[in-house]
Structures are given as C-alpha cells and as structure tokens.
Amino acid sequence: QSALTQPPSASGSPGQSVTISCTGTRSDVGAYNFVSWYQQHPGKAPKLMIYDVTKRPSGVPDRFSGSRSGNTASLTVSGLQAEDEADYYCNSYARSKNYVFGTGTKVTVL
C-alpha cells in the first residue's frame, strides 16, 4: 500500500486560509468515508483534527474543515493562527483492509 500524496509544504499569513490536498486512489480515499486528518507539533504525538472526511471532534476549532472530491481529500485551515504551524497528515482506510497515511505537509504561518 503506497502512501497518499500530500504537498511537502504550505504557508499563509495570519488570518488567511491554507488548503492541503491528499491524493489517493479508488481503493482508498475514493472508496471509503474513513478519511481523517492529524496535526503534529514537533516532539508531540499526532492529534485528530478531522474524521469521516468532514467531521470535527469535540474541541477542534471550526476553522478546520475537510472535504473530498473523487480520490482527493482536502483539509482547509481558515483564519490561520500561529499555533496552526505544524505538520499535517491525512489517513485513509484502504481496500487492503488496512490504513495508509499521507506523506505529510508542513504548514508555515508567515
């Protein structure tokens, strides 16, 4: 199972929006609603930000939103804040009956 494809980096100024893509195939991102996104700050464990493509866990700001078109899922962070600077990973269930992570995107707040 190959990793899902994410851009290595993305950036935006405070208050702006940034969107990260996560491209898979018809066997993973395009096939199941089990698509999730994780935020990871340096030296910390990942944190769940989005699940089931579009749902936000309790406590996650509504500045974070998820969507999907075909085999590509996206995470949008609106109203960027300094604390949003982190690495972000997508994850999807796959037809192999396992899960696969994306390659990761480093978000920089300018």
Spatial contact of 92 and 29, defined as CB atoms under 8 Å apart: yes
CB atoms within 10 A of CB 74: 19
Q: Which of 79, 80, 55, 52 is nearest to 65 (CA)?
A: 55
The answer to the question of residue 63 lying near other proteins (CB under 8 A) is no
The answer to the question of residue 33 lying near other proteins (CB under 8 A) is yes
Q: How many chain residues bind other proteins (CB under 8 A)?
A: 28
85 vs 87, which CB is nearer to other proteins?
A: 87
The answer to the question of residue 24 lying near other proteins (CB under 8 A) is no
- b/e map of 27-64 (b: 16 or more CB within 10 Å)? bbbbbeeebbbbbeeeeeebeebbbebeebeeebeeeb
Q: How far is the CB of 92 from other proteins (least distance, A)?
A: 8
The answer to the question of residue 9 lying near other proteins (CB under 8 A) is no
Position among 1, 5, 67, 71 found at the interface with other proteins (CB under 8 A): 1
Binding site for other proteins (CB under 8 A): 1, 3, 32-36, 38, 40, 45-48, 51-52, 57, 89, 91, 93, 96-104
